[in-house]
């Protein structure tokens, strides 16, 4: 479904991603871990189409299409969803209006008819249950004044509404209490199918107890330096990143 080959990206001339290779197939869950500043969010942003990042080398195909060639909105319409590490507050834009515009533009692109107000509300109610999000939140401006946990829940709610094929969850677990973590993970698990895939970026093993990954990758200095199965996450939890950093850094000096 997603194939990343030798991806290099920089911001304002500073290289951040330095040769990423990753294959994600339908039905799989990949976890990306790694120390702060290693480039995890950058990778997520580049996949979603953020313009500030310049791709200097490499290629990304998604469902056979050149992903890097598409505008951010078209990537979303093709089925890429990014749950932001820091969702943006947008005063004055009502959550409901925003979602309805988004859902209908995505549907139009996919050749589905637009939802009228009634159908949209029905769908909203159904998906709200999934992440146990309060109606009151959605009557407010988008993310405005939401708590950290509420913002994360809203991301997963939007994901449920947009029905993506590839979801990239950037630290969706950070800042969630244990109940919220369970609810959000449940939501993600219910949306999982053999036809879609998930990339979870996280620092914590506890999320991976709920969303069990098929593969775990360690990102360090803009490269995937180690890949393994879910046991790798447990090992990282126990030993930290130093052993990996040392191995890589000593290699680099040789």
Partner 1 sequence: MSTLTKQNLFEGFLETSFAGFEKTREEGKASFLKQGLPTLKSEEYKFTAIAKKLEQSISSFQNAKPFEVNAEEVKAGIPEGFDGTVLVFANGHLIPDLAIQAENLAFSKLSEKPETAIGSIAKANKDPFAALNQSSFDEGVFLQIPKKEVVEKPILLLSFNKANEGQLIQPRVWIEAGDFAEVTFITHNINKSEEPYFVNKVVEIKGGVNSQIRYYRVQNEGKNAIEVSNIETNLLQDSRFTSVNISLSGEMVRNNLSLNLLGSNSEGNMYGIYLLNGKTHVDNHTNVDHTIPHAESNELYKGILADQSRGVFNGKIFVRQDAQKTNAFQQNNNILLSEDAIVNTKPQLEIWADDVKCSHGCTTGQLDEEALFYLQARGIDKTQAKGLLLFAFAGEVLEHIQDESFKNYCIDLVQERLGSKF
Task: Give me 227's structure tokens.
Answer: 């890949």
Q: What is the footprint of ligand ATP within residues 74-93 (CB under 6 A)?
A: 85
Q: Note whether 42 binds Mg ion by CB under 5 A.
A: no
Q: Note whether 76 binds partner 1 by CB under 8 A.
A: yes
Q: Toward Mg ion, which CB reaches closer, 106 or 224?
A: 224
Q: Note whether 48 binds partner 1 by CB under 8 A.
A: yes
CB 17 within 8 A of CB 5: no
Cα–Cα distance for residue pair 107/101, rounded to 1 Å: 10
Total residues interacting with partner 1, rule: CB under 8 A: 30
Q: Toward partner 1, which CB reaches closer, 123 or 234?
A: 123
Nearest to 85 by CA among 199, 245, 222, 164: 199
Coil, helix or strand at residue 65: strand
Cα–Cα distance for residue pair 135/38, rounded to 1 Å: 37
Task: Quickly list H helices, the chain.
Answer: 40-48, 72-78, 95-109, 117-131, 135-138, 148-162, 178-191, 205-210, 230-239, 242-253
Please provide the DSSP assignment of 116-179 as one string: -HHHHHHHHHHHHHHHT--HHHHTSEETTT--HHHHHHHHHHHHHHH--SEEEEESTTTT--HH
Among 38, 41, 95, 158, binds Mg ion (CB under 5 A): 41
Coil, helix or strand at residue 114: coil
Q: Taking the complex as a whole, how short is the minimal distance between the CB of residue 19 and ligand ATP, in angstroms? A: 15
Q: Taking the complex as a whole, how short is the minimal distance between the CB of residue 43 and partner 1, in angstroms? A: 15
Among 2, 16, 137, 166, binds ligand ATP (CB under 6 A): 16
Q: Note whether 151 binds partner 1 by CB under 8 A.
A: no
Q: Toward ligand ATP, which CB reaches closer, 41 or 198?
A: 41
Among the candidate windows 8-16, 63-71, 109-117, 229-237, which touches ligand ATP by CB under 6 A? 8-16
Q: What is the footprint of Mg ion within residues 225-254 (CB under 5 A)?
A: none
Q: What is the footprint of partner 1 within residues 93-132 (CB under 8 A)?
A: 93, 98-99, 101-103, 105-106, 109
Among the candidate windows 30-38, 60-68, 125-133, 150-158, which touches ligand ATP by CB under 6 A? 30-38
HSE of 155, CA atoms in CB hemisphere, 13 A: 27
Residues found near partner 1 in the complex (CB under 8 A): 48-52, 71-73, 75-77, 82, 84, 87-88, 90-93, 98-99, 101-103, 105-106, 109, 141, 158, 162
Task: Give the binding site for Mg ion (CB under 5 A).
Answer: 40-41, 85
């Amino acid at each position: 479904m997603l194939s990343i080959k030798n991806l290099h990206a920089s911001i304002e001339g500073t290289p951040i991603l330095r040769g990423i290779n990753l294959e994600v197939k339908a039905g799989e869950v990949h976890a990306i871990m790694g120390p702060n500043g290693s480039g995890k969010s950058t990778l997520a942003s580049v996949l979603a189409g953020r313009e500030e990042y310049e791709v200097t080398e490499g290629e990304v195909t998604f469902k056979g299409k050149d992903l890097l060639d598409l505008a951010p909105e078209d990537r979303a319409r093709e089925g890429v969803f990014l749950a932001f590490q820091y969702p943006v507050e947008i005063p004055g834009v009502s959550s409901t209006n925003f979602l309805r515009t988004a859902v209908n533009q995505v549907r139009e692109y996919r050749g589905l008819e637009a939802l009228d107000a009634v159908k949209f509300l029905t769908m909203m109610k159904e998906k709200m249950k999934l992440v146990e999000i309060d109606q009151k939140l959605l009557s407010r401006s988008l993310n405005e004044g939401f708590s950290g946990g509420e913002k994360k829940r809203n991301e997963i709610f939007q994901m449920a509404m947009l029905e993506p094929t590839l979801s990239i969850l950037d630290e969706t677990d950070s800042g969630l209490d244990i109940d919220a973590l369970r609810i959000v993970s449940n939501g993600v698990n219910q949306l999982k199918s053999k036809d879609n895939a998930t990339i979870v970026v996280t620092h914590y093993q506890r999320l991976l107890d709920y969303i069990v990954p098929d593969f775990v990758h360690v990102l360090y200095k803009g490269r995937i330096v180690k890949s393994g199965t879910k046991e790798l996450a447990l090992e990282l939890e126990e030993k930290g990143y130093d052993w990996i950093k040392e191995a890589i850094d000593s290699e680099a000096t040789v």
